[in-house]
Structure 1
Amino acid sequence: MKDDAIYFLDKKVQLGGALESWRAAISAPSRCTKNKVGTIMCTWDSLGLEVGTEDTQKTVGFENLYISFPDFLTDPNTVHYAALPPQSRFSGELTFDGAVINQNTGFDEVRSNRNRNVRCGTLDCSTPHGTFSDRVLLFFHLKGTRMTDTVESLSFSLREPPDG
């Protein structure tokens, strides 16, 4: 992830782009829901990746990348929103603004890009958020509530177009 772009093995993909372009860029096998209307989810188990559409046009509206498994994915008492949660965490090499992220990376190690305006709550830093690009919002999920806690997942969501 660099500037306002997401790459898989040097192939650029984008939120708002066609779901099929993501499937073509990511060579690993995927599982997808078969919905005719509404959200379509595709999961790459070997990459800890979920990608979904938010419309019937099959354009990607959000992406979730699991560096480790957050409790809500493994807790049998918690219902996960996704029909197809990944079977493993991301195990490749992930770089975000030049910082390498793995399951031991603290959030404070990756929040260096001031242009992203990534911020925490006043008393709780478990879900910092900011801006990935002018069209895409960025969300982190941390293992705890401190800025030094490890990153469990990164999520990207297409910004709603302005009314009018």
Structure 2
Amino acid sequence: MGGRIVGSLAVAALLAAGPAAAEVRVHYAAPERFTDAENRFGSGQTLPATLAALTRIFQDLAAPRLRPGEILDITVRDIDLAGFERPGFATPTGLRVVTDATPPRIRLSYALRRGKRTVAQGEDTVTDPNVLLTANPRFSSGGLYYERAILRDWFARRFPDTAAR
């Protein structure tokens, strides 16, 4: 009798918890070969810091667009951060000059799964030559604002409305 009560309580707890939360998994393919994902002149973000920040951005932007139980796998194949490094300036975070000619570019592949079924997949190069017109770092918190802006727009295009899927 006691085993039945414990079993019933466990089932009730699982039902009360609701469906499993969506999951975003980000992988980086050969990050040491990325075009420009770290400051190579000794100041500014290291490669691990850049990858950690991008992982948080992917997770933050994907979470509201996914249904409970969905899994989004993203494999980042190349990163070219906005701008270019300007050596010779002794600032603790480095100096990165961003111009119209140097927008961020992130090459990735993705697969969205619902249960065992793949509902969307593809490969994209995410960039926006007009990023200086659409993203304003003064109104952003954290770093990688231009990268966040292009990824925000990519998520809106690729996963427009969870209710429609």
Greater C-alpha radius of gyration: 2
More helix by share: 2
